[in-house]
């Protein structure tokens, strides 16, 4: 077993110095609050991909996946691939955020439901970021502590990560975050496959693994995983509705040079994560074989990744692995810090404290509030213990909040009364059913598909019924909201009517918009040309889904 030594420490130090210096260097691009919060909407598609992949990948992802595959075999990949079937839908919803012409999702909620709902969402979003940063920092701290043989404590890792990403995010904002995310995404990809060559050599290759492990460890589907069609359906519902309400969606989808750059970034950045998951699952099999062959045991399957790092990597590569783990968390935390500052500044400070604030004031308020709210996340990280359940809880509350955002784009008639009722009823049903089963009240319950399904059904039912029996939203405001969604965001504003041209002229009308409109004759006119960008991209994304499943199948045939 390799000891963590000076070479590993030097590599980690180089990583910290390099990523901080790079973030500060690109901060020269920051000229105003828009460039700080949205990067001036000038990112290329490859930066958008790196940002989506880096922000969506955290330390607990590869630790949990490796541990699950170590425990039940390769089929456990579906624990991480639960969102595979909804990834093509990212192509369809990404334009919502760019066409809104807003800086935060909170502002979009204001446009759709009014000021009070915007404030309600903004409070949720800030808490979302605080909780998310906390569990990510805690997860990264635990992994690094194990990988270094407890040479560095969990809390020391948390504080070191925080200092690094706060410095480059404070000065560079979304520009530093996005470009650093791209670099750190490359490191995460390296992390995902770094253990495989030495691991296969140690266990005698695929033949050695097959001779050591049960046959069902090499199946793409098996009964041990216990993920049925209903569970996958509920996880998919959780994913597609929940992601629409996640507060960083504007930065994920609307900061590119073009609308297509946002679509490519969100969709194919997510596909990169699905691809590297294959490496995590294979690493789990390698560790399972290695443990059996060496006559040892692991008390906790989630120790598998840290164990592999200690045993399989030579000095230097262990440090690179630790740096990659740090990158996985810092990329997400950096993006969240900038978005938290944007939410507080645009939706609370500017609206309720100083409407006449200059752009320079907004820029500094965004920086300062981002740092202070991040420190709350650090406090949460030092407090919590169960990282995995913390993430599942965050995804669940986003799905309940997503009813009003996802549903609000699918249905023009939705109003603020239905929106607020949907959220509270979904939460009430969720907690009541969990209480009946567990017998105690808890803040965080273990995620169960049936409980989640009933809560979502109750929430959507309330959303529809209450909206139908209460006063409609102002028709002019709603028409303006949906008119923006029907405009080509990449085109120049017309000097004639002061609006951008209709997207349908460019083949960019949106399929997932105003669902009842699909029952009208007009909606089907010139379908293939009007919706060309949507349906071509959607079908291409499904080809990638099938390709990734095929690659995974090939791996288990080796």
Helices (H), 345-415: 359-383, 387-410
Residues 357 and 353: their CA atoms lie apart, in Å, by 9
Task: State what percent of residues in the chain have pLDDT above 70.
Answer: 91
| Residue 452 lies inside a defined structural domain of this protein | no
Find the helix packing angle between 115-147 and 154-194, rounded to 10°. 80
pLDDT average, residue stretch 338-352:
84
Given a contact cutoff of 8 angstroms between Cβ atoms, the answer to whether 364 and 124 are in contact is no
Is a pLDDT exceeding 90 seen at residue 38? no
Given a contact cutoff of 8 angstroms between Cβ atoms, the answer to whether 107 and 481 are in contact is no
| Residue 4 lies inside a defined structural domain of this protein | no
Band (pLDDT 50/70/90 cuts) for residue 89 is very high
Which letter, b or e, does each residue of 455-468 get, where b requires 16 or more Cβ atoms within 10 Å of its Cβ?
bbebbbebbbebbe
The residue count for the chain: 558
Find the helix packing angle between 87-99 and 259-294, rounded to 10°. 140
Alpha-carbon distances, residue 542 vs 38, 85, 101, 115, 260 (angstroms):
30, 8, 29, 38, 17
Given a contact cutoff of 8 angstroms between Cβ atoms, the answer to whether 381 and 133 are in contact is yes
Overall number of domains in the chain: 1
| Residue 166 lies inside a defined structural domain of this protein | yes
Burial class (CB in 10 A: 0-12, 13-18, 19+), 308: buried
Residues 12 and 6: their CA atoms lie apart, in Å, by 10
Closest by Cα among 269, 360, 336 to 104 = 336
Closest by Cα among 319, 379, 282 to 9 = 319
Is a pLDDT exceeding 80 seen at residue 19? no
Per residue in 224-246, pLDDT (tens digit) is 677 677 888 888 888 899 999 99
Residues 330 and 304: their CA atoms lie apart, in Å, by 22
Band (pLDDT 50/70/90 cuts) for residue 333 is confident
| Residue 439 lies inside a defined structural domain of this protein | no
Phi, psi of 253 (to 5 degrees): -115, -15
Q: Which two tokens stand for residue 392?
A: 């599942």
Band (pLDDT 50/70/90 cuts) for residue 390 is low
| Residue 473 lies inside a defined structural domain of this protein | no
Given a contact cutoff of 8 angstroms between Cβ atoms, the answer to whether 267 and 95 are in contact is no
| Residue 74 lies inside a defined structural domain of this protein | yes
Residues 261 and 48: their CA atoms lie apart, in Å, by 7
- State how far Cα 101 lies from the chain centre: 21
Q: Which two tokens stand for residue 68?
A: 């699950």
Is a pLDDT exceeding 80 seen at residue 60? no
Given a contact cutoff of 8 angstroms between Cβ atoms, the answer to whether 77 and 70 are in contact is no
pLDDT average, residue stretch 376-398:
72
| Residue 496 lies inside a defined structural domain of this protein | no
Task: State what percent of residues in the chain have pLDDT above 90.
Answer: 38
| Residue 499 lies inside a defined structural domain of this protein | no
| pTM assigned to the model | 0.86
Is a pLDDT exceeding 80 seen at residue 421? yes
Band (pLDDT 50/70/90 cuts) for residue 450 is very high
Band (pLDDT 50/70/90 cuts) for residue 385 is low
Residues 135 and 141: their CA atoms lie apart, in Å, by 10
- Domain of residue 156 covers 9-22+44-415+537-557
Closest by Cα among 486, 347, 357 to 412 = 486
Residues 171 and 426: their CA atoms lie apart, in Å, by 40
pLDDT score for 283: 93
Q: Which domain CATH number covers 123?
A: 1.20.1730.10
Distant-in-sequence, close-in-space partners of 344: CB < 8 Å, separation ≥ 6: 122, 126, 365, 366, 369, 370, 373
């Amino acid at each position: 077993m390799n000891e963590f030594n000076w070479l590993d420490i030097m590599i980690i130090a180089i990583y910290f110095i390099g990523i901080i210096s790079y973030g500060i260097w690109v901060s020269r691009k920051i000229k105003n609050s828009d460039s700080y919060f949205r990067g001036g909407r000038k990112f290329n598609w490859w930066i958008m991909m790196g940002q989506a992949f880096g922000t969506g990948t955290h330390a607990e992802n590869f630790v949990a996946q490796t541990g699950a595959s170590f425990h039940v075999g390769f089929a456990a990949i579906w624990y991480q691939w639960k969102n595979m079937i909804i990834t093509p839908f990212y192509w369809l919803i990404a334009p919502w955020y760019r066409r809104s012409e807003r800086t935060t999702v909170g502002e979009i909620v204001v446009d759709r439901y009014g000021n009070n709902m915007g404030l309600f969402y903004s409070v949720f979003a800030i808490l979302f970021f605080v909780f998310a940063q906390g569990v990510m920092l805690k997860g990264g701290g635990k992994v690094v502590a194990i990988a270094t043989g407890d040479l560095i404590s969990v809390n020391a890792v948390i504080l070191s990560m925080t200092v690094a990403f706060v410095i480059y995010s404070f000065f560079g904002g979304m520009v530093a975050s996005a470009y650093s995310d791209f670099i750190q995404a490359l490191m995460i990809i390296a992390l995902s496959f770094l253990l495989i060559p030495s691991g296969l050599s140690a266990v005698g290759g695929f033949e050695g693994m097959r001779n050591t492990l049960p046959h069902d460890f090499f199946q793409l589907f098996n009964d041990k995983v216990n993920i049925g069609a209903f569970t996958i359906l509920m996880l998919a519902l959780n994913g597609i509705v929940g992601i629409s309400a996640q507060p960083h969606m504007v930065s994920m989808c609307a900061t590119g040079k073009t609308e297509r750059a946002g679509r490519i970034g969100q969709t194919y950045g997510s596909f990169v994560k699905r691809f590297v998951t294959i490496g995590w699952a294979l690493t789990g099999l390698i560790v399972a074989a290695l443990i059996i062959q060496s006559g040892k045991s692991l008390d906790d399957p989630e120790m598998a990744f840290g164990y592999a790092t200690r045993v399989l990597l030579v000095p230097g590569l262990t440090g690179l692995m630790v740096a990659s783990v740090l990158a996985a968390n810092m990329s997400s935390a950096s993006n969240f810090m900038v978005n938290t500052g944007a939410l507080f500044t645009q939706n609370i400070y500017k609206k309720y404290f100083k409407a006449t604030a200059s752009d320079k004031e907004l820029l500094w308020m965004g920086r300062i509030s981002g740092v202070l709210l991040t420190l709350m996340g650090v406090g949460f990280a030092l407090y919590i213990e169960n990282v995995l359940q913390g993430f599942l809880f965050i995804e669940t509350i986003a799905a309940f909040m997503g009813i009003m955002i996802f549903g609000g784009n699918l249905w023009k008639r939705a109003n603020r009364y239905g929106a607020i009722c949907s959220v509270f009823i979904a939460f009430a049903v969720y907690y009541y059913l969990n209480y009946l089963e567990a017998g105690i009240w808890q803040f965080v319950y273990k995620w169960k598909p049936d409980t989640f399904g009933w809560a979502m059904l109750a929430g959507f039912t309330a959303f529809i019924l209450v909206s139908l029996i209460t006063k409609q939203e102002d028709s002019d405001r709603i028409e303006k909201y949906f008119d923006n969604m029907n405009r080509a965001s990449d085109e120049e504003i017309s000097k004639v009517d002061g609006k951008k041209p209709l997207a349908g002229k460019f083949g960019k009308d949106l399929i997932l918009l105003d669902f009842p409109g699909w029952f009208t004759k007009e909606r089907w006119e010139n379908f293939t040309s009007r919706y060309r960008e949507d349906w071509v991209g959607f079908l291409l994304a499904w080809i990638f889904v099938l390709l990734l499943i095929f690659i995974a199948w090939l791996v288990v045939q080796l």
